[in-house]
């Protein structure tokens, strides 16, 4: 069955499996601490968890996955940890790009490029370029990303268009603001998962999360893998999504 929220809304299949899952990969530090290891080793183990999870995601029927690799707030961490997280993006791309390319994965990196070092920009550019022809699965890495910063950037673009006389401010609508976000190319997330037991959005996909379901899993990110993702998808399958309508039949009546 499909429902149409509002007269002109898109058709949305109810009970459909999610196309897009976004992951807040939390708990690397606690995983390391529990083992008496430096935090850096927790982040390294986190890269392996990311590889395992991406490998299993397409087989679970997903088309898009967005992961929170580095937030605009993570600059507040000690410089040594910031350097380690930057290094890990490079490590991930250098050790996994060939496999991602062969597996039909297209890599997208969202977030502000300003402030990133030239070697990081090169790695991002290489990952996007080498996988640009792929379409089986989309891996979107949020790096130097913040939901508020992304909204501010979109608003600034609209304001510039108004100031230059190219846009009537009375015509600005939700679609225009959404189209200016760095996530505009893909579908909105159906499901947002956060690991480690914390229950916060932490400035991730603020606009895009409008109708997402949330699942919070009590597993530290370095221990995560496809079996945990499958459990989150199962939890999602029990949810009823109404997109603001009181009942699914109200949504149908509105169409």
Total Cβ atoms within 10 A of residue 48: 14
Minimum distance from CB of 96 to ligand FPP (Å)? 10
Q: How many residues bind ligand FPP (CB under 6 A)?
A: 19
Beta bridge partners of 143: 70
Pick the piece of the chain touching ligand FPP (CB under 6 A) from 2-10, 41-49, 96-104, 201-209: 41-49
**HEC sequence for 48-92:** HHHHHHHHHHHHHCCCEEEEEEEECCHHHCCHHHHHHHHHHHHHH
Binder to ligand FPP among 23, 40, 54, 92 (CB under 6 A)?
92
* Per CB under 6 A, 192 contacts ligand FPP: no
Helix (H) / strand (E) containing 192: strand 191-195
Which positions from 108 to 147 touch ligand FPP by CB under 6 A, shown as an x/- string?
A: ---------------------------------x------
Binder to ligand FPP among 50, 65, 109, 127 (CB under 6 A)?
50
Interacting positions 6-25 with ligand FPP (CB under 6 A): 25
* Per CB under 6 A, 202 contacts ligand FPP: no
CB closer to ligand FPP, 110 vs 158: 110
Binder to ligand FPP among 5, 18, 20, 27 (CB under 6 A)?
27
The DSSP string of 80-141 is HHHHHHHHHHHHHHHHHHHHHHHTTEEEEEES--TT--HHHHHHHHHHHHHTTT--SEEEEE
Binder to ligand FPP among 29, 146, 186, 189 (CB under 6 A)?
29
Active site residues: 26, 74
Closest to 124 (Cα-Cα) out of 137, 103, 139: 139
Residue number of the CB atom closest to ligand FPP: 29
Binder to ligand FPP among 5, 28, 106, 123 (CB under 6 A)?
28
**Alpha carbon distances (Å) from 78 to 19, 75, 84, 97, 211:** 36, 8, 10, 28, 35
* Per CB under 6 A, 43 contacts ligand FPP: yes
Q: Is 1 exposed, middle or buried (0-12, 13-18, 19+ CB in 10 A)?
A: exposed
Which pair of tokens denotes residue 93? Answer: 């791309």
Binder to ligand FPP among 5, 46, 111, 147 (CB under 6 A)?
46
């Amino acid at each position: 069955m499909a429902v149409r929220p509002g007269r002109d809304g898109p058709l949305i299949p109810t009970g459909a499996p999610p196309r897009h899952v976004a992951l807040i990969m939390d708990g690397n530090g606690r995983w390391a601490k529990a083992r008496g290891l430096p935090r850096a080793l927790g982040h390294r183990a986190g890269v392996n968890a990311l590889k395992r999870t991406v490998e299993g995601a397409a087989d679970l029927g997903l088309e898009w996955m967005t992961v929170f690799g580095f937030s605009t707030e993570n600059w507040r961490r000690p410089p040594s940890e910031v350097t380690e997280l930057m290094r890990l993006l490079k490590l991930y791309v250098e050790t996994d790009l060939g496999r991602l390319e062969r597996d039909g994965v297209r890599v997208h990196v969202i977030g502000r490029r300003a402030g990133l070092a030239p070697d990081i920009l090169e790695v991002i550019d290489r990952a996007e370029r080498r996988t640009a022809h792929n379409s089986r699965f989309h891996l979107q890495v949020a790096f130097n990303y913040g939901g508020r910063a992304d909204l501010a950037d979109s608003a600034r673009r609209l304001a510039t268009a108004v100031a230059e006389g190219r846009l009537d401010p009375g015509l600005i609508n939700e679609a225009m603001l959404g189209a200016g976000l760095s996530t505009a190319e893909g579908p909105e997330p159906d499901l947002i998962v956060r690991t480690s037991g914390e229950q916060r959005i932490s400035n991730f996909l603020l606009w895009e999360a409008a109708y997402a379901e949330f699942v919070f899993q009590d597993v530290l990110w370095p221990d995560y893998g496809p079996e945990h993702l499958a459990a989150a998808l199962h939890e999602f399958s029990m949810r009823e999504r109404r997109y603001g309508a009181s009942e699914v039949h109200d949504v149908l009546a509105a169409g």
